[in-house]
């Protein structure tokens, strides 16, 4: 029903002219494969003024507030928000729905590392014909690279997790450390001092936490994965640089200066709240999370950039973050893209995500907004934590890629790396095992491994 008028419009001469103009000012957006080309302004207007129902799968709490802004602006569109689970269960349901050919949402939250696994079976819509290139400049470069590694744009960035160091100032002072360690070497020395004088671990390396370890590798400039969007991958988790990171942690763990408890369970929350750990190397979403977990230690924490490998450098890695993607199966792709874009690009909505849901923004307008960066946080002794992380965000290495089967990558990480880390074994050797398993899985699945 809705298709007929759209085709008729596209054939109209005015629309053709508009299409030409639009494609003229959209770099790289002209060639969209078998699609009819860029969407015209008329098509967009029409889609947004037609009674439409969209389904949106996300686990962001209270996102209904941002969706309400969208519905207010486009009253014809009715958005149904559904939370089908967080992380793995979400992706499982998404894959099942795609496989079944019905029941899939129009827009779905996808973490950056999982985007390739949905690009591979062609489940995501390339957003370039819908004008996604136009908003590329609104985001920090490395975040945009995550949603658009090549010519296509697969999603609109929602939040990111540039990594930093949250630490207990009181415990470090007690150990005679007044400045947060600037290099990893200093960090190791500090770890010894903290352990000796307070009995606390300077931090905890989550035994099975692949995201944290990959973040450390990212900082070191390791490029463990790449995917060409077709059938070629490269896997390099045991490169020399990766082993340098691994050896560093093996050393700290074997001297009992860093604990290896499994993170994000009660045990670990208690550890943060009671000073078992004097710090947490985490991402930009960490500060708020910690505030909820370790309420009793308010005012004692401070935030700093990650220690560096080379003195005087400023490089960070990323851990976590999501984007909103439009599914290829959506019957209302224009409206769906507008929803994904609005939620994460509209100034009011993006600001709300950053200040009410505490998602750390990839959007430059928010990162530069005093209302966001000048917020002083009592939990961190009045420090402007947002400002610190927005500076860190600019130092994240661009061009980091993922494999199209990250579920498997993470689960083998648990098997090969997790057990070794928990056992305080040689992490470098575990990297070799992990590498072998990943390569053999990729080959079994028919990929060409470079």
Partner 1 sequence: MSHSPALSAERSSAPPHRHSSTSRRKQNIAAYLFVLPFFVVFIAMLIVPLVYSGYLSLFESKLIGGEVFAGLANYVRALQDSAFLASIGRMGLFFIVQVPIMLGLALFFALALDSGRARGARGARLLIFMPYAVPAVVATLMWGYLYGPDFGPIAQIARAVGLGTPEFLSPENILGSMMNIVTWEFVGYNMIILYAALRSIPGELYEAAEIDGAGQFRIAWSVKIPAIRPAILLTVIFSIIGTFQLFAEPSLLNTIAPDAITNSFTPNYYAYNLAFINQELNYAAAIAFLLGIFIAIVSYIVQLSTQQRERRERTTS
Rule CB under 8 A: say whether 296 interacts with partner 1: no
Site for partner 1 in 212-231 (CB under 8 A): 231
Rule CB under 8 A: say whether 440 interacts with partner 1: no
22/430 with CB nearer partner 1: 430
Q: What is the rounded CA–CA span in Å between residue 148 and residue 359?
A: 21
Rule CB under 8 A: say whether 207 interacts with partner 1: yes
Rule CB under 8 A: say whether 298 interacts with partner 1: no
Rule CB under 8 A: say whether 239 interacts with partner 1: no
Number of other CB atoms surrounding residue 171 within 10 Å: 21
Q: What is the rounded CA–CA span in Å between residue 100 and residue 405?
A: 20
270/314 with CB nearer partner 1: 270
Kindly state the tokens that stand for 243: 């082993």
Share in percent of the chain as helix, strand, coil (round to 5): 50, 15, 35
- Partners of 323 in the β-ladder: 110, 157
| Cβ partners under 8 Å of residue 407, min gap 6 | 88, 91, 114, 117
342/434 with CB nearer partner 1: 434
Name the minimum Å distance from CB 103 to partner 1. 17
Rule CB under 8 A: say whether 192 interacts with partner 1: no
Q: What is the rounded CA–CA span in Å between residue 196 and residue 343?
A: 49
Q: Contact with partner 1 (CB under 8 A): which of 42, 384, 415, 426?
A: 415
Name the minimum Å distance from CB 170 to partner 1. 21
Q: Contact with partner 1 (CB under 8 A): which of 186, 244, 414, 436?
A: 414
Name the minimum Å distance from CB 277 to partner 1. 11
The residue range among 3-11, 49-57, 242-250, 437-445 that interacts with partner 1, by the rule CB under 8 A, is 437-445
Residue with token string 């305080």? 424
| Cβ partners under 8 Å of residue 58, min gap 6 | 81, 83, 107, 108, 109, 324
Cβ atoms of 108 and 324 closer than 8 Å:
yes
123/386 with CB nearer partner 1: 123
Rule CB under 8 A: say whether 266 interacts with partner 1: yes
- CA nearest neighbour of 210 among 350, 311, 114: 114
Q: Contact with partner 1 (CB under 8 A): which of 44, 73, 192, 276?
A: 276
95/192 with CB nearer partner 1: 95
Rule CB under 8 A: say whether 116 interacts with partner 1: no
Name the minimum Å distance from CB 207 to partner 1. 5
Name the DSSP letter for residue 411: H
190/272 with CB nearer partner 1: 272
Q: Is 295 left (phi over 0), alpha (psi -120 to 50) or beta?
A: alpha
Rule CB under 8 A: say whether 407 interacts with partner 1: yes
Cβ atoms of 195 and 201 closer than 8 Å:
yes
Name the minimum Å distance from CB 199 to partner 1. 14
- Ranges assigned E (strand) in 124-260: 156-168, 225-227, 232-235
Name the minimum Å distance from CB 184 to partner 1. 25
Rule CB under 8 A: say whether 185 interacts with partner 1: no
Kindly state the tokens that stand for 224: 């463990």
Kindly state the tokens that stand for 67: 């969706």
41/436 with CB nearer partner 1: 436
231/348 with CB nearer partner 1: 231
309/441 with CB nearer partner 1: 441
| Cβ partners under 8 Å of residue 199, min gap 6 | none
Considering CB under 8 A, how many residues would be counted as binding partner 1? 32
- Binding residues for partner 1, rule: CB under 8 A, are 88, 92, 95, 120-121, 207-208, 231, 262, 265-267, 270-271, 276, 404-405, 407-408, 411, 414-415, 418-419, 421-423, 441, 444-447
């Amino acid at each position: 029903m809705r298709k007929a008028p759209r085709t008729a419009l596209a054939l109209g001469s005015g629309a053709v002219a508009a299409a030409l103009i639009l494609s003229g000012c959209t770099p790289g957006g002209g060639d969209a494969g078998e699609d009819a080309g860029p969407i015209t302004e008329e098509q967009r207007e029409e889609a947004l003024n037609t009674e439409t129902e969209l389904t949106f799968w996300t686990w962001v709490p209270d996102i209904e507030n941002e969706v309400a802004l969208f519905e207010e602006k486009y009253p014809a569109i009715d958005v149904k928000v559904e939370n089908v689970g967080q992380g793995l269960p979400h992706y499982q349901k998404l894959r099942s729905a795609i496989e079944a050919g019905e029941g899939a949402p129009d827009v779905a939250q996808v973490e950056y590392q999982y985007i390739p696994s949905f690009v591979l079976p062609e489940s995501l819509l390339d957003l370039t014909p819908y004008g996604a290139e136009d908003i590329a400049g609104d985001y920090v470069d490395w975040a945009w690279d995550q949603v658009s590694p090549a010519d296509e744009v697969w999603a609109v960035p929602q939040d990111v997790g540039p990594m930093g160091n949250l630490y207990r100032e009181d415990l470090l002072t007690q150990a005679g450390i007044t400045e947060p360690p600037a290099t990893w070497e200093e960090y190791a020395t500090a770890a010894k001092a903290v352990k000796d004088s307070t009995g606390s671990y300077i931090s905890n390396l989550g035994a099975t936490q692949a995201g944290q370890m990959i973040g450390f590798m990212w900082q070191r400039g390791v490029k463990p994965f790449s995917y060409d969007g077709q059938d070629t991958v490269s896997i390099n988790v045991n490169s020399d640089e990766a082993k340098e990171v691994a050896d560093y942690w093996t050393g700290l763990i074997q001297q009992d200066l860093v604990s290896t408890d499994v993170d994000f369970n009660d045990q670990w929350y208690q550890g943060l709240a009671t000073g078992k750990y004097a710090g947490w190397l985490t991402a930009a979403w960490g500060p708020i999370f910690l505030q909820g977990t370790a309420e009793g230690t308010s005012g004692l924490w401070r935030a700093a950039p990650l220690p560096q490998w080379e003195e005087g450098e400023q490089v960070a890695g990323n851990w976590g973050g999501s984007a909103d993607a439009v599914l290829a199966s959506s019957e209302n792709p224009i409206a769906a893209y507008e929803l994904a874009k609005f939620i994460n690009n509209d100034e009011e909505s993006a600001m709300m995500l950053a200040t009410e849901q505490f998602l750390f923004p990839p959007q430059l307008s928010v990162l530069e907004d005093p209302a966001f960066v000048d917020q002083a946080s009592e939990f961190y002794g009045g420090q402007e934590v947002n400002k610190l992380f927005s500076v860190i965000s600019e130092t994240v290495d661009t061009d980091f890629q993922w494999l199209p089967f990250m579920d498997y990558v993470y689960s083998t990480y648990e098997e090969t790396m997790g057990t070794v880390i928990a056992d305080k074994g040689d992490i470098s050797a575990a990297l070799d095992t992990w590498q072998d398993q990943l390569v053999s899985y990729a080959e079994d699945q028919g990929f060409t491994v470079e």
